[in-house]
Chains A and B, each alone.
Chain A
Amino acid sequence: MQLSGMGIGALMGASVPVLGNAVPLEYLLEPRADAATKKKLADVALNAAKSKGASYTDVRIGRYLQQFLFTRENKVQNIVNAESYGVGIRVLANGTWGFSATSDVTPEGIARAAETAVAIAKANAKIQKEPVTLAPQKGVGDVTWKTPIKKNAFEIPVQEKIDLLMKVNGEAMKNGAAFVTSNLFFVNEQKYFASTDGSYIDQDVHRIWPTFTVTAVDRQAGGFKTRDALSSPMGMGYEYLDGAAAEKIPGPNGLVGYRNSYDMVEDAILAAKQAKEKLTAKSVQPGKYDLVLDPNHLGLTIHESVGHPTELDRVLGYEANYAGTSFATLDKWKTKNFNYGSKLVNIVADKTQPYTLGTVGYDDEGVPCKEWNLIKDGVLVNYQAIRDQASIIGEKESHGCCYADNWSSVQFQRMPNVSLRPGTEKRSVADMIKGVDKGIYIIGRGSYSIDQQRYNFQFGGQLFYEIKNGEIAGMLDDVAYQANTQEFWNSCAQLCDKDDYRTFGSFFDGKGQPSQVSAVSHGCPTTRFNGVNVINTGRKI
């Protein structure tokens, strides 16, 4: 609910969502209020709302910190340190939700916001057709949770970060890049949640995303190609940038997969060489191919074709005017035999997996986080539901996947980590490629598009290698594959094992009106899909 052009993002010229005020780094490291103070303030909200007639109230006192660095070639373009601090209060009155938020974090400001939330709930109750039913949630008392980071990114000197990015850019240029941009994103959410259920939850959540884009240009031919970083955003501290050798997974053709540690300089060198190679890569012959999809690519396909369609609010129609609805309807789920995919497909939702973006102790309505199955042996078995949806699918408790991107935003159902379990048979990427006669090995996140019910999708990638008779035959270009979600997952033919399992992540996943972002991870091993339709995207203008 920002007026366009007036947010700090616009002021700083950044094209990413920046919430809050720009402040010096030192300021970010000073604590705002201790848990005891927050508990007192939270109680003000709970009592004020109750006295006005709320049957349930939750309050989130949030401090959201961001540090973003933007560079190109040998220049630092921008450094953003931002803080956003305030209180969001959600109430149930007359069976209807009401929400109000304020940056006035005083007992008076909080009481006023609580009263406004109740007034909005009562006003909307008059045209409400479906009273809200909340799944029960026992209060958890006074608890804390913290992302288990080793190095707080906000405590690392800015100069060290600039030095890293300048090295990344320098090495990319040395190895053939014409241009390079590189960025570091750090997020810290300090969230205090309290509810009339008797929960007082203090959480400290950290996320990190290093990334770059390398561009190679052939001016004579009038062509250019890019290669993006093969990093993943993670629920980790600055230690993700250590580039630990034990977390590297060597692949074919000198490729390197990164598990829970990233070597940004190494990847930039490879990227520059590969971007140059892309300039002369063979244009793909369209047709059916067996696809071997790297985790850094398949993660996005999982996100779009399994993550979003199993969001219960989409299934029910709450997102119909924006993101859309879902093909994975309640009717299909109720049959208990809807074949979402082949028997190899086991997809799990969780907010507990270490190092991932979705992992926290409790969600934004105070529900302890857990793991549950979405697709078991290929069959659709469950959705992603929060407290006011759980009863619709016969669940006795929420799945714990409610999230708001800021204290000023109302929390709603957001995607947990959604991951494909690795195969149980021992299998490496090399083993998998050996078995493919006519295929394409795809690495990295490229162009992506999917319809509003999540049937038809098209994905590109960063790197494409032709596979002929069990061997990599060279680089391809102009590749995109199109498929129907159910057909695609039913063509899933082979999985690599747990040693190849890695997570992909989306740092700024958008949903809702007004739009909110969230961060989510998707784990999977390299996976084979048979007979997928590949198109050629080359054009001349």
Chain B
Amino acid sequence: MAILSKEEAKKIIDKVLSFSKADEMSVNLGGGRTGNIRYARNSVSTSGESNNLSLGITAVFGKRSGTATINEFDDASLEKTVRRAEEIARLAPENPEFVPALGPQQYVDTKSYVESTAKIDPAYRAQAAFDSIDLCNKKNLTAAGYLEDSAGFSAIGNSKGLFGYNPATSVDFSITVRTADGTGSGYAIRDVNDVSKLSTKSATDIAVQKALASTSARALEPGKYTVILEPAASVDLMQNMMRSIDARSADEGRSFLSKKGGGIRLGEKLYDERVTIYSDPTSADIPGSPYSGDGRPQEKIVWVDKGVVKNMTYSRFWAEKKGVKAVPPPSGFIMEGGTQSLADLIKSTEKGILVTRFWYIRFVDPQTLLYTGLTRDGTFYIENGQIKFPVKNFRFNESPVIMLNNLEAMGRPVRVSGNLIPPLKIRDFTFTSLSDAV
């Protein structure tokens, strides 16, 4: 019974709050079932399942706060944990950036819980792995994959009357297929809330095609190329950029959004005018949490509108200091795209490189958001609208800010890692060296 109903969750939170002797008390309650299966060399290597229900209690005295957690739910344990949180709070140093807890909030309804996913059992996981492995076995290819599913809930509440409840399910699947001689490798990744939308077999089929097509890769000279980035390739760069839009860092002069001479780049046109990025917790494609970790409601926020920086994230402390709205970071983002398919983008390309995914992406310079990383598991040369041959992997050194200024075209957005991102055609993408890795 790890997934509590809204009423059951509220009852526990109210009970905890009734024990409080602190100035303020906040409660986080969450739990659920999570399971996984991992395979490599066409065999299952590990698999497991765990149930978890845990409660975090934060007590506040003045500007001092302390947190304690527990996974036992009888009255005595709850009261003991309240006392423990209060004890930690009394011993804690004062936090000069302390912000009092929020009062009651209105939260939107999100569709993040799907029953089919909650029903996943070990037999489903074994079958999902078998469907993927079997396809590879038959073609003398080697599969390595991982599926992780979860079904759970979160609930928040505090002594000022705030309460929120959100059930959620998710499945993440990734598959790497390699040829027996190790000269070809392909990859596919999927994430869904509703497992009925996942086929490990069809995802594996794409990885199979890429593995077979990527053998005998040719070396091209590193340099600036037009690239078509599949969403699985661009997602990490985009996510890294979206995590770097904190207003405080910009105000402090240590962000790509800091202005020369002081100030921040809010309202500045920083990207190609076709770039629009927003978040929306009610999205049917990527339903998010209705609230952020500290209880702020999530709502639709436009971050970049036609290339112009429209919003940045603010902690409640920094927003208060600056006299602006405290916008929390989103759980996922949506980049608007076009109507073309990936195939259409390839067809319209005279010369370019198709990139399946990037790997080992690391910051090189936070000031310009310069990142380095490599292509992996399916990199192909395009000429006159057709994929001509596989190419050896490249190392890139590129900034998503520069990349989104060099935009040529965008396709239809697809879901990847909890975001919606279109395939992107980018000119002058900087590859700095070659890699022998397959």
Contact = CB atoms under 8 A, between A and B. Distances in A.
Q: Do A and B bind each other?
A: yes
Interface bracket on B: 35 or more
B41 interface: yes
A18 B401 CA distance: 33
Interface in A57-74: 74
B339 interface: no
Contact of B176 (A123, A128, A321, A449): A321
A480 B364 contact: yes
A537 B434 CA distance: 17
A393 B58 CA distance: 52
B40 A318 contact: yes
B92 A79 contact: yes
A338 interface: no
B158 interface: no
Interface in B343-377: 359-370, 372-374, 376
A439 B1 CA distance: 64
Contacts of A324: 359, 376, 437
A324 B359 CA distance: 10
A217 B254 contact: yes
Interface string A1-45: 111111010111100000001111000000000000000000000
Interface stretch (A134-142, A453-461, A467-475, A518-526): A453-461
B402 A127 contact: no
B368 A219 contact: no
Interface in B81-121: 84, 87-88, 91-93, 95-97
Contact of A537 (B361, B365, B433): B365
B261 A222 contact: yes
Interface stretch (A97-105, A203-211, A427-435): A97-105
A456 B437 contact: yes
A374 interface: no
B34 A2 contact: yes
A112 B366 CA distance: 50
A537 to B, nearest CB: 5
Given A224-B254, A541-B401, A11 B69 contact: yes
B142 A320 contact: yes
B402 A539 contact: yes
A11 B28 contact: yes
Contacts of B95: 75-77
A455 B363 CA distance: 20
Nearest to A539: B368
A456 B374 contact: yes
Contacts of B364: 447, 460, 480, 537
A335 interface: no
Nearest to A102: B50
B32 interface: yes
A319 B395 contact: no
B69 A458 contact: no
B126 A538 contact: no
B206 interface: no
A317 B35 CA distance: 23
Counting chain A residues whose Cβ lies within 8 A of the other chain, the interface size class is 35 or more
Interface string A365-398: 0000000000000000000000000000000000
Contacts of B259: 222
Contact of A128 (B43, B71, B178, B293): B43
A450 interface: yes
Contacts of B252: 178-179, 217
Interface string B316-359: 00000000000000000000000000000000000000000001
Interface in B43-67: 43-48, 50, 52, 54, 56, 58, 67
Contacts of B146: 321-322, 513
Given A3-B31, A541-B402, A455 B435 contact: yes
B46 A97 contact: yes
Interface string A197-235: 000000000000000000101011111101000000000
B361 A449 contact: yes
Interface stretch (B8-16, B148-156, B194-202, B304-312): B148-156
A408 B46 CA distance: 13
B144 A321 contact: yes
B170 to A, nearest CB: 8
Given A3-B30, A219-B261, A455-B436, 11 more contacts: A11-B58, A11-B69, A103-B71, A178-B254, A219-B262, A319-B40, A320-B142, A447-B372, A458-B395, A482-B433, A541-B368
Closest 3 CB pairs of A and B: A222-B260, A456-B435, A6-B30
Interface of A: 1-6, 8, 10-13, 21-24, 74-77, 79, 81, 97, 99-101, 103, 120, 123-124, 127-130, 158, 162, 178-179, 215, 217, 219-224, 226, 316-322, 324-325, 327, 408, 410, 447-456, 458, 460, 478, 480, 482, 484, 513-514, 533, 535, 537-541
Interface of B: 28, 30-32, 34-36, 38, 40-48, 50, 52, 54, 56, 58, 67-71, 84, 87-88, 91-93, 95-97, 122, 126, 129-130, 133, 142, 144-146, 148, 150, 152, 154, 174-176, 178, 182, 252-254, 256, 258-262, 270, 289, 293, 359-370, 372-374, 376, 393, 395, 397, 399, 401-402, 432-438
29 contacts: A1-B50, A5-B30, A10-B293, A21-B71, A22-B69, A23-B68, A79-B92, A101-B50, A127-B129, A130-B43, A162-B93, A179-B254, A222-B260, A318-B40, A318-B45, A320-B40, A320-B142, A321-B144, A324-B359, A324-B376, A327-B436, A447-B364, A449-B373, A456-B437, A458-B432, A458-B433, A480-B364, A480-B397, A484-B436
